[in-house]
Structure 1
Amino acid sequence: MNATFDKTSIFSELGLHVPSWYTSLPLPVQIIVGLVGSLATIIGLNVLRQLALPRDKSLPPVVFHYIPWFGSAAYYGEDPYKFFFECRDKYGDVFSFVLLGRKMTVALGPKGNNLSLGGKTSQVCAEDAYTHLTTPVFGKGVVYDCPNDMLMQQKKFIKSGLTTEALQSYPPLIEDECEEFFKHDLGLSASKPSVKVDLLKTMSEMIILTASRTLQGKEVRKHVNGKFAQYYEDLDGGFTPINFMFPNLPLPSYRRRDKAQKAMSDFYMKIIEERKKGETDHEFDMISSLQGSVYKNGVPLTDRDISHIMIALLMAGQHTSSATSSWTLLHLADRPDIYEGLYQEQKKVFGKPDGTFAPVTYESIKELPLMDAVIRETLRMHAPIHSIYRKVISDIPVPPSLSAPSEQSSYVIPKGHFIVAAPGVSQMDPLIWQNSKTWTPERWLEEKGVGQAAVEQYTKSEQIDYGFGSVSKGTESPYQPFGAGRHRCVGEQFAYTQLSTIISHIVRNYTMKLEVPSFPETNYRTMIVLPKNPQVSFSVRKQDV
């Protein structure tokens, strides 16, 4: 047997001629050249397939891409909204793209949102789209790790804890946390009247402190600055795009996530056990409300279920509220006229003759139209989640009105695809909103403006009870700040209360200034849409004499 390796044997067997310049190259260089050539061939065949082969007209058009499997990942991941708007101009409201081997079909606009968010459970499934991301973080048996009917009941249990009485008790607690944080954690005082901060980091701390003191309970708040903080940080490390796309990588961050999940779950379990023994003095909080909850089939909510729901509440609410509060304050720092308008509104509603302010209450927050407009406008421009996914579990016929203008028949989104809703597109659509890319709170104060009409459509549309109480469907509204349909956020009222109280405290006591040359750009490489380099300064406000 001839054991000598013949460099040309493989090519000869394939009937290919090997150039002499190739055989004269060192073997490592030959390998590199071969790999590059193979990649070029794969890309060429993929391009040829898209340009030359006839397209199935019953399927949505596919966004052109060079590399198979990788698809449009870079284009979409860098700036999803630029991707959506540019693809809409080229393909229409419904189109597909390849994302790391997944076939994603986007349906844009209010009707497109309805196709996904208002879809039947026999056609679309949120659990199949998200459980690989959320279950390792939240835990087993809750949110997307259970049938949809159970999730709807869990939302009802949570909503039962967010009573008007509970919401009324939160503003004083939030005010106390704000007072403590700004004076002691940031050290703002007469002797240190100004401080420069990373606003996102600051508001993330502020949100977790206020949420733990209200929804989570005194025991959780007491441990926020200890081991609990490390558990949270490690668990938060498992809530990233890489975890969504690749759920089971053998990375240290994944192991830290799993260890933190168990530790945090056990932490809540200990609180529940101590309460059962009567060893702690506690208020009526969310844990208290969840205890004793029973599913319709008679199965009680277990202590472990309660622990996992509490983790889900902490993680989900913290991310979205941190982002929204940061974007709101950045815009206010950039618009001192609106900031001053909020201060004058505070004086009008809460001001006393001696120059001090009355406490913020749940009822008085509703008397702040400019504050409401500021938060609504921020949510319009900075939807915390740019893409909402559902797995298609049976073919979805697309209404003809959503097909590209040049198509004579409607599309079908086939089983196995993921359908993508992007409410932020309709919230920033220049065809709907005047000056859509400009932060303009005033639009929400216009009596018959687009903003007010959108809110009415979102809040006063067809009423449906998905299992957690009657809510407006709102899936065809151009404004969906807290989602729509069966997966609409049940914490909407709490979020408005929390954000309004925190911002009220800041406006009353401090002035703000941007500490960067231009308004911060958007970071889309995280699960939640966040600002890049959000540097601001807080200064103690000189009180009126």
Structure 2
Amino acid sequence: MSLSTLGVFESYRTFYGESPSLCILTTVLGFVVTALIWAQIEQALFDDPTQPPVVRYYVPFIGSMVEFGMDPIGFMRKHREQHGDFFTFLMFGRKMTVCLGSRGNDFLFNAKHSCVTAEDAYNNLTKPVFGADVVYDVPNSVLMEQKRIVKAGLSTKSFQRYVPMIIKETNDYIDKHWTKDEDTIDIFKAISELIIMSASRTLLGKEIRAQLYEGVADLYHTLDSSFTPIHFLFEWLPLPSYFSAPKAHAELESIFAKVIKARRLETNRESVDMLDVFLTSKYKDGTALTDLQATNMCIALLMAGQHTSAATTTWALLNLANQDNVRNGAYNDMKRAMGEDLPYPEFENLKDLQTLDDIVRETLRIHPPIVQVLRKVVKPIPIPESSHIIPAGNYLMASPVIAATDKAHFQDPETFKPSRWSQQDEAAEVEAEDKNSENTVNYGWGDMSLNSAKSPYLPFGAGRHRCIGEQFAYIQIKTILYVLLKRFDFKLDEKRGMPKSDYNSMVVLPEAPVSCRYIRRK
């Protein structure tokens, strides 16, 4: 160490001895100023005109993480006005290239798998929750086969069995928990419990459903706690959930192993749920799913839809409670379709409940449970009709809600107006045209429109990773809404009003507590 360096340390030690508080403050300020200066130097040195414009930041490495995390929708709208549909921002060392509008949606969802992948973006987040050898923990070709197997199990025959089960689960829950003629409750907590119970009964079978009261729901909740943005950003941190999730998974595997063993002993068993489908299905090469894969597919199937359906159903009820005319219109439409006595619907009746369908669609437009869809760029990819190239290593981020709440596509876009769908406004017509397009592709589970990604309304995504649980979600949510509206009227909590969105999880939820008042119908 040189004499000059020793002199600096000696001066610092003397300064600290004389005024430690001032010394610490000066040191911290020095670090802050240095960081601010370096951030500007870094952006100047690495500015590349061949890449999309970069959102300016003031803290190295952290970048725009805080601003984005507090209000991702506001952040994207703000910088879309400044930079257009494609721009990049820094978030904890990751370069996130945002792709917005119908053009951005189409770019991300229809990007070639050789250039961008979902597994490289999501596996660290989903593997602790879903388990090994399923979804993003397998090659894309295997994932496509797993989706084919799931879709085959979500058949019309299955849906016909599911509707009465969902009705019974909803009524049983109401009879047990909503015993007063009028009460104010945490509606999100109630709906979350109802969703997981009805989904477990229909998709996983009566054996798993019977154990929900014995701790299975708690195990699901433990896994769910690992599905947050912090786990995407800090996969290397020793967070408590990193230790609790494997333990919960092992317990679930043990429970499913007993059920699977019992089912394999049954001869000539009729397939009645998705676990049966997984135990009898095979990949194209003739290989059967292992018991572990069947277990993890069941866990993934439930976990992938539980939070999203709970959020959508809750937002739908909150909006109904907030608008008397919409709520009363839905109730009257139910009577028109089913009769004054409101008998419970069967699967075939659900298509006649047009207002409930419109309510779900409008809820998904304004309050989609997923506001950001990610991909990892593995090979440089050019942006069409642009001179910009996105380099390998960047992440792509699309947000279909930006187009779905854009006044260029929807009149009065921030207003909850379910009737817009029945009126077949411009956006609905665009969607219909996309669905009828002859420009299709088959990823292994049926023809899909390549043009669908250009639609401004994509609550279930598009392309090879489009959610295949869309029909089940509509059936489950509409059936639950029917039962609740048949038996109760709803009003917002006058003190709290309509809750704001909470962006602290991967699924956008209402800010807790989500208070809502139910009034039993006479």
TM-score (norm 2): 0.94
* CA-based RMSD: 2.3
Please state which structure has a larger fraction of its residues in helix: 2
| Displacement of 1:279 | 10
| Counterpart position of 2:471 | 493
| Counterpart position of 1:176 | 168
Structure 2: unaligned runs, 5 residues or longer: none
Report the secondary structure of 2:287's partner residue. Answer: coil
| Counterpart position of 1:466 | 443
- Give 1 or 2 for the bigger CA radius of gyration: 1
| Counterpart position of 1:453 | 429
| Counterpart position of 1:541 | 521
| Counterpart position of 2:290 | 302
| Counterpart position of 1:479 | 457
Number of equivalences:
518
Structure 1 CA distance for aligned equivalents of residues 433 and 135 of structure 2: 27
26-35 vs 266-275, greater mean Cα deviation: 26-35
| Counterpart position of 1:286 | 274
| Displacement of 1:535 | 0.6
User: Which residue identity does 1:465 align to in structure 2?
Assistant: N
| Counterpart position of 1:383 | 368
71-80 vs 461-470, greater mean Cα deviation: 461-470
Asked if 1 retains the 8 angstrom alpha-carbon contact of 2:496 and 2:515, the reply is no
Cα–Cα, structure 1 residues 454 and 78, in superposed 2: closer, same or farther, change >3 Å?
A: farther
Asked if 2 retains the 8 angstrom alpha-carbon contact of 1:458 and 1:479, the reply is no
Report the secondary structure of 1:103's partner residue. Answer: strand
Asked if 2 retains the 8 angstrom alpha-carbon contact of 1:149 and 1:467, the reply is no
336-345 vs 233-242, greater mean Cα deviation: 233-242
Structure 1 CA distance for aligned equivalents of residues 12 and 220 of structure 2: 59
Structure 1 CA distance for aligned equivalents of residues 48 and 219 of structure 2: 50
Counterpart mapping for 1:377-526 below 5 A: 377-400=362-385, 403=386, 410-447=387-424, 449-461=425-437, 462-473=439-450, 474-515=452-493, 516-526=495-505
Counterpart mapping for 1:317-336 below 5 A: 317-336=305-324
Structure 2 CA distance for aligned equivalents of residues 199 and 21 of structure 1: 62
| Displacement of 1:358 | 2.3
| Displacement of 1:455 | 2.8
User: Which residue identity does 2:160 align to in structure 1?
Assistant: Q
57-66 vs 248-257, greater mean Cα deviation: 248-257
Structure 2 CA distance for aligned equivalents of residues 386 and 293 of structure 1: 33
Structure 2 CA distance for aligned equivalents of residues 283 and 539 of structure 1: 40
Report the secondary structure of 2:67's partner residue. Answer: helix
| Counterpart position of 1:406 | none
Structure 2 CA distance for aligned equivalents of residues 432 and 452 of structure 1: 9
Residue 357 (structure 1) aligned with residue 345 (structure 2): no
- Cα-to-partner distance string for 1:143-195 (whole Å, 9 max, x where unaligned): 000000100100010111111111111111111111111111222xxxx2012
Asked if 2 retains the 8 angstrom alpha-carbon contact of 1:523 and 1:529, the reply is yes
Report the secondary structure of 2:82's partner residue. Answer: helix
2:77 to 82, 85, 88: 85
| Displacement of 1:423 | 0.7
| Displacement of 1:24 | 5.8
Asked if 2 retains the 8 angstrom alpha-carbon contact of 1:454 and 1:479, the reply is no
| Displacement of 1:369 | 1.6
| Displacement of 1:457 | 4.2
| Displacement of 1:217 | 0.6
Report the secondary structure of 1:512's partner residue. Answer: strand
Asked if 2 retains the 8 angstrom alpha-carbon contact of 1:395 and 1:414, the reply is yes
Report the secondary structure of 1:424's partner residue. Answer: helix
Report the secondary structure of 1:500's partner residue. Answer: helix
| Counterpart position of 1:407 | none
Counterpart mapping for 1:54-69 below 5 A: 55-69=47-61
Structure 1 CA distance for aligned equivalents of residues 292 and 409 of structure 2: 46
Asked if 2 retains the 8 angstrom alpha-carbon contact of 1:457 and 1:477, the reply is no
User: Which residue identity does 2:468 align to in structure 1?
Assistant: V
1:10 to 5, 20, 32: 5
Asked if 1 retains the 8 angstrom alpha-carbon contact of 2:38 and 2:60, the reply is no
116-125 vs 35-44, greater mean Cα deviation: 35-44
Structure 2 CA distance for aligned equivalents of residues 218 and 293 of structure 1: 20
TM-score (norm 1): 0.91
Report the secondary structure of 1:291's partner residue. Answer: helix
| Displacement of 1:31 | 4.4
Asked if 2 retains the 8 angstrom alpha-carbon contact of 1:443 and 1:451, the reply is no
Structure 2 CA distance for aligned equivalents of residues 427 and 455 of structure 1: 12
Structure 2 CA distance for aligned equivalents of residues 66 and 457 of structure 1: 45
Asked if 2 retains the 8 angstrom alpha-carbon contact of 1:113 and 1:422, the reply is yes
| Counterpart position of 1:40 | 33
| Displacement of 1:47 | 2.4
Report the secondary structure of 2:448's partner residue. Answer: strand
Report the secondary structure of 1:106's partner residue. Answer: strand
2:98 to 106, 121, 133: 106
% identical equivalent positions: 39
| Displacement of 1:11 | 6.9
Structure 2 CA distance for aligned equivalents of residues 523 and 11 of structure 1: 52
| Counterpart position of 1:97 | 89
- Cα-to-partner distance string for 1:420-461 (whole Å, 9 max, x where unaligned): 1111111111222111111111111113x1232143145333
| Counterpart position of 1:219 | 207
User: Which residue identity does 1:541 align to in structure 2?
Assistant: R
Asked if 2 retains the 8 angstrom alpha-carbon contact of 1:60 and 1:96, the reply is yes
